[in-house]
Amino acid sequence: MSTAKRLVSLVCLVLVFALVAGCAQKPAEPAKPAEQAKPAEPAKPAEPAEIKIGVVAPITGDVATFGVNTHRGVELAVKQLNDKGGVLGKKVVLKVEDDKNQPTETAAAVQKLITQDKVTAIIGSVASKCTLAGAPIAQSNKVPMISPTSTNEKVTQVGEYIFRACFIDPFQGAVMAKFAYENLKVKTAACLFDVTNDYTKGLAESFKANFEKLGGKVVEYQTYNVGDQDFKPQLTKIKAQNPDVLFLSDYYNTVGLIAKQVREMGLKCILLGGDGWDSAELGKIGGTAIEGGYFSNHYSKDAKNPEAVAFLDAFKKAYNEDPDALAALAYDATMILCDAIKRAGKLDGGAIKDAMSSTKDFKAVSGSITIDPATRNPIKSAVVLKVDKGGKFAFEALVNP
Ligand code: PHE
């Protein structure tokens, strides 16, 4: 290089340096002078400033308390996370969809959340029949989805992106069969359920199989269709067999209705059911007819683990009401998901689902949660609650897997 050229290079360098230094000293931009001075890099897709999470729940419709409390549980968790600086330093933002407890609505909501809102993950839905309709869409788009409360076994079988925060119906049915046979010491049972609903059908099947395995007898196994209001024909057959217990695996609205007809017809049997009973509305619909019944559930507000105590307190402060299992599990599902996002370290569906699969001993409101990576189901205990006077729920038993 000639001396003249060297000189030109030097002058250029000095000029560039002066420019850079000049920029750096601009008083208007004190924030990141060094970064701005860097030579231009190939444009990277901008990292979103927030984390969008979709929520699908029946906020209106026939089981609206399920959706309202699910939404509250998610909202409370997100508020607490954001108050502490968010997740991966980003604010969590919710996109909430009401599926009205109708599977076609769930499918449309999941589709919208993915294509329009471009959410990172989805929490929902509540009813198994709804989650089963939405999950294949999340799975094929590789968007992680966690249902707080869908207990039907088939839900997580949809694929490796689908998770849940609750136990499954084969366990729940076994819990109630054991409770009936061993705690209540009854020998005969009848089942009555909605044959069009994956949850009510699967849970009745599990109760029957387990009750019979223990040595009990299922003397009637009756069905109805969604929306039915008159159960007298089935109850007439059941009454003729005079079972010790009647297992009703539907949601609170239908269970309340059936309970009334059971007592109107003079049946004396003890009523049993599953998590679908969990609503403050059960006692209002069923009145005294439902009192003395027992159901399996995910959460009791009497739980004493520190997470449950703190949650109960925060929920009451926020909503002026006691939380139910829907709220507790929605809170847990949100925390499990966000913990996985933190461990994944990025907003990538594949990385998040891998992190979710390796959730271990996570201290949740509904107990310690370890997700079985093969099935994406948590391994956890159940509680049995009794419906007391005025429709209040009282803790009756804790059943471990
Ligand atoms: N387990 C029910 C289902 O799968 C939903 C539910 C969960 C309802 C918890 C009430 C409480 O359909």
Q: How far is residue 9's CA from residue 79's CA, in Å, rounded to a whole number?
A: 57
Strand 367-372's sheet: what is its strand order? 362-364, 367-372, 377-379
**pTM of the complete model:** 0.88
Give the residue among 263, 274, 314 at the shortest CA–CA distance from 297.
274
* pLDDT at res. 48: 80
The CB of 151 under 6 Å from ligand 1? The reply is yes
Q: How far apart are CA 302 and CA 328, in angstroms?
A: 12
CB-count exposure of residue 319 (10 Å: 0-12, 13-18, 19+): middle
Structural contact between residues 394 and 388, judged by C-beta atoms closer than 8 angstroms: yes
Q: What is the CA(22)–ligand 1 centre distance, in A? A: 64
pLDDT at 12: 43
Q: What is the pLDDT of residues 69-106, one digit of tens each?
A: 999 999 999 999 999 999 999 999 999 999 999 999 99
- Amino acid identity, residue 297? N
pLDDT in tens, 8-55: 454 444 444 444 444 444 444 444 444 455 555 666 666 789 999 999
Write the residue with the smallest CA distance to atom 10 of ligand 1: 276
Four-way CATH pick for 50-167+302-380: 3.40.50.300, 3.40.50.2300, 3.40.50.460, 3.10.20.30: 3.40.50.2300
Look at residue 44 in the predicted model and tell me its pLDDT: 63
149 C-alpha to center of ligand 1: Å?
Answer: 5
Burial class (CB in 10 A: 0-12, 13-18, 19+), 26: exposed
For residue 379, report the phi and psi dihedrals to the nearest 5 degrees.
-105, 115
Cα 21 to middle of ligand 1, angstroms: 63
User: Which parts of the chain register pLDDT below 50?
Assistant: 1-4, 7-8, 10-35
Cα of 324 from ligand 1 centre, angstroms:
12
Residues of the chain with CATH 3.40.50.2300: 50-167+302-380, 170-297
User: Rounded to an integer, what distance in angstroms lies between the CA atom of residue 130 and that of residue 150?
Assistant: 9
Question: Exposed, middle or buried by CB within 10 Å (0-12, 13-18, 19+), for 14?
Answer: exposed
pLDDT at 41: 63
> 55 CA distance to ligand 1 centroid (A)?
16
Name the residue with the closest Cα to ligand 1, atom 5.
127
> Which contacts of 269-272 are long-range, i.e. CB under 8 A and separated by 24 or more positions?
269/190, 269/242, 269/243, 269/244, 269/245, 270/184, 270/186, 270/244, 270/245, 270/246, 270/294, 271/245, 271/246, 272/176, 272/179, 272/180, 272/189, 272/207, 272/245, 272/246, 272/247, 272/248
Summarize pLDDT for 249-259 with one digit per residue, the tens: 999 999 999 99
Pocket probe for ligand 1: among 102, 132, 150, the residue whose CB has the most ligand atoms within 8 Å is 150
Classify domain 170-297 by CATH architecture: 3-Layer(aba) Sandwich (3.40)
With vertex at residue 81, the alpha carbon angle to CA 303 and CA 357, rounded to the nearest 5 degrees, is 75
